[in-house]
Amino acid sequence: MCFHFLNETSTVFRSAHPFAVSEYVNEHVGSHDLRLRPAGSGMATLAHRKFGTMDLCRLTYGRQARVVSDGLGDIYHLQFILRGQCRYEMRRESACIPAGHLLVINPDDPIDLTYSEDCEKFILRLPTPLLQEACIENRWLKPQEGIRFQPVPYRFQELESLLYLLTLICQEAESGLISPQLLGHYNRVIATKLMTMLRHNVSLDMPSLTCVSFERLVQYIEENIKRDLCVDELARQARMSTRSLYLLFEKHAKTTPKNFIRQKKLEAVYNALMDPACRFANITALALDYGFTHLGRFAESYRDAFGMLPSDSLKARYNRLNG
């Protein structure tokens, strides 16, 4: 089974030092630390194309190389092993992946990969929002912890339709003739294809319409929590009347949309105040950031919700930090 991903027109490096290729990969494909064996003089090659919000990359380091990273931030990596082999150490699991297999790396997966001297791989880089949009478009409920693929290697034989699609994507990327509309369409098709072919933690079963509408609205509110969201905007998002929206929130949250949004904003402020890693100038700036312009009313609502003032939460955070 032979698939052609990117041709000579996409070549960025040919017979280059591996660290030069690694520097380029760090900038365009994914942050990592490259470690080479002292022995060996093989040269690296790399081909790369941007395709909408995705990146297509084909590379070989030309010698045995170890790639280490604490995580990829907000991107997913699909690594197709075309030649040679790759050994991975991930979350106490270890395996050797030969050519003809795909390894999926989630955004927060720590990475420890060792590539053989003759290893060549094709990387598909996808941003997190692309997969989230696929869930929204198809009414799949995204788990609170985010979308996570099972990293276990997939055989190419299981993925033929995906591989043919990626071959077409590479040809389109290299043609230079694709329109922005078609580019966006291809991006959505790839994201949906991955969700239907690979194993992950998202349920693709269709829940009841009201459940889908409410869960999607909660997700929309959380993703836009710092904005001044209104009932009309939520009704448009749910494609229902204002009256139906109020009934939906009464059924699932026992409150009105406006009160629900305010509660979510208060929860976001509380989490920020209690999180030692969260940085802000002061409580006033944090409250304004989440749309609370009447500070006295904000403090009162905060106390009603959590039984303490914002300043008390901040003191509790400092006390916990200082032991």
Q: Fold for domain 8-197?
A: Jelly Rolls (2.60.120)
Q: Residue 56: what pLDDT? A: 97
Query: Is residue 98's pLDDT more than 60?
Result: yes
- Give the closest residue to 73 by CA, choosing from 112, 33, 31: 31
Which pLDDT tens digit goes with each residue over 220-236? 999 999 999 999 999 88
Most confidently predicted of 23-37, 194-208, 230-244: 23-37
Cα four-point dihedral sign 234, 237, 240, 241: positive
Q: Which listed CATH number (1.10.10.60, 3.40.50.300, 1.10.760.10, 3.40.640.10) goes with 209-321?
A: 1.10.10.60
Q: For residue 215, what pLDDT band results from cuts at 50, 70 and 90?
A: confident
Which residue ranges make up each domain of the chain? 8-197, 209-321
Q: Residue 178: what pLDDT? A: 87
> Does 8-197 match 209-321 in CATH topology?
no
* Residues 273-282 as b or e (16 or more Cβ within 10 Å = b): beeeeeeeee
Range scoring the smallest mean pLDDT among 32-36, 184-188, 279-283: 279-283
Q: For residue 91, what pLDDT band results from cuts at 50, 70 and 90?
A: low
- The amino acid at 297: R
Query: Is residue 2's pLDDT more than 90?
Result: no
Mean pLDDT, rounded, for 103-110? 91
Mean pLDDT, rounded, for 147-161? 90
Bin 46: left if φ > 0, else alpha if -120 < ψ < 50, else beta: beta
The mean pLDDT of the chain is 88
Q: For residue 1, what pLDDT band results from cuts at 50, 70 and 90?
A: low
Query: Is residue 323's pLDDT more than 60?
Result: no
CA distance 115 to 61: 8
Q: In the chain, pLDDT over 70 holds for what percent of residues?
A: 94
How far apart, in Å, are the Cα atoms of 144 and each of 132, 218, 226, 235? 12, 11, 19, 23
Q: For residue 212, what pLDDT band results from cuts at 50, 70 and 90?
A: low
